[in-house]
Amino acid sequence: MEAPAAGSAANVTTPVADDEHLDSGELGELCGGDEDNVKHPWPYLQEIFSYIGVIDSSYRIKCLFCLPRVTEILAFKNSPSNLKKHIERKHVGHLKKYEELTSRKRKRAPETLPTTSTIRQTTLVNTRTVSQRSIDKAILKYVVQGLQPFHVVEQQPFRDFVKELQPNTKMISRLTLCSMIDDASLGMKKAVTEAMRGVDHIATTTDQNLKRCSAALACKQLRGSHTFDVLASALNDIHSEFEIRGKIVRTTTDNGSNFIKAFQVFGEDENNNAVGSDGDPGNASQPGEDQEDQEGDEEVEFVDVSVLLNEDDGLEFQLPQHQRCACHLLNLIATVDAMKATSNEAYKKVYRSTFGKCNALWNKCGRSTLTAETVEDACSLQLLRPNATRWNSLFLAVERLLRIMK
């Protein structure tokens, strides 16, 4: 055992947690009173260390090997590593005894001191609080992005699910949800309008497959026949609603005849040069040319202006310049070229035989729900039916048949 060094009773002004020795008087002042009457945190070390109290997040431990000198050590609550460091530095001869005691792995009694895991669990439960506004937004996002019906908020299992997660929450009604969706739609529309207000030129498209930084302006059902004037009216209303009629440079659509005619009739002409009556720009009349002769030959004709003003010329819509989708055009070309292969008699015979069987399967599944369910149960896949207006539908339908056959 080491002899006490001179001045061992000197006070230490700052407590530290890494194997520093503190005077008992100063530790008592730091802890604010007498020694705590709590059992030893590491009972298996009672033979060489005695428990004194607690300071902040550390235990106050007194080394019995240092007696009669009073040496106190600060040890973290989750580890007695500082005690082992003290033995290694000051009492190397007793290191074997320390290791024998620790090898027994006797843990402190759970009824005396709460474990670290218990304290952490309590903290986690008490700190997590979610506001009613956040819950309402989460429900709104779930319904909109998940394409859920509005009445899901009135279903008891869903209400129980939310109550289980947040017992103090108040479930919104279907009417409240619809009102929130309307408000969110107006807010998004306002944000998009404000964003486009500071832009000079805009390009729109009716093709959802393009990957650009864009925003979906509208998604609505067009009732009745989708004629060119109906499409023009819908596009014009959308442009006016977002205040971008004069900003759109070009609109891209597929090669449908209704889209093409809509822009031919109501679209902006790409050739802004003045043309003559025969369509030749060179025949356009020049200012001042033969002006005197024309003035002499003019005849005065009275026209009822009210009739002209009330007459509907059918040009009440204003659409931007039109651009056809190149991908859709190439798809149509490939489709037509592929059909020309049937001009070969040998291929035509195989083609009709093969697709006759395929069409029989597709028609049977399309007309009978029981047949479609039987195919799905037997093959674990549903048959895809070709659609003339859907891209690559025939290819995907044949590919599904080949996948089932394999």
d(CA 198, CA 210): 23
pLDDT at 181 > cutoff 80: yes
pLDDT at residue 360, rounded to an integer: 94
Residue 397, pLDDT score: 93
Residues belonging to the chain: 406
pLDDT at residue 117 above 70?
no
d(CA 235, CA 248): 12
- The mean of the pLDDT values for the chain is 76
How confident is the model at residue 384, as a pLDDT? 92
pLDDT tens-digit readout, 240-272: 888 888 888 889 998 888 999 999 988 887 654
Closest C-alpha among 266, 258, 250 to residue 389 = 258
Query: pLDDT by residue (tens digit) across 303-353?
Result: 666 655 555 555 567 888 899 988 888 888 888 888 888 889 999 999 999
Reply yes or no on whether the pLDDT at 132 is more than 60.
yes
Mean pLDDT of 109-137: 61
Question: What would the two tokens of residue 225 be?
Answer: 């026949």
Check: CB of residue 277 under 8 Å from CB of residue 283: yes
Hey, where are the domains in the chain? 21-123, 132-197, 201-270+316-336, 344-405
CA nearest to 106, candidates 47, 52, 45: 45
pLDDT score for 357: 94
**Binning pLDDT at 50, 70 and 90, where does residue 278 land?**
very low
Which of 28-37, 79-88, 283-292 has the largest mean confidence? 79-88
How many angstroms separate the CA atoms of 299 and 294, rounded? 10
pLDDT score at 302: 63
Burial bucket for residue 49 (CB in 10 Å: 0-12, 13-18, 19+): buried
| Confidence check: pLDDT of 280 > 60 | no
Higher pLDDT, 275 or 239: 239
Choose from 55-59, 66-70, 177-181, 266-270 the range with maximum mean pLDDT.
177-181
* Cα 225 to Cα 234: distance, rounded to the nearest angstrom: 13
Burial of 85 (0-12, 13-18, 19+ CB in 10 A): middle
Q: Inform me whether the pLDDT recorded for 84 exceeds 90.
A: no
Average pLDDT over residues 70-75: 85
pLDDT beyond 50 at 282: no
Q: Cβ-count burial of 158 within 10 angstroms (0-12 exposed, 13-18 middle, 19+ buried)?
A: middle
| Confidence at 358, pLDDT banded by 50, 70, 90 | very high
pLDDT at 307: 59
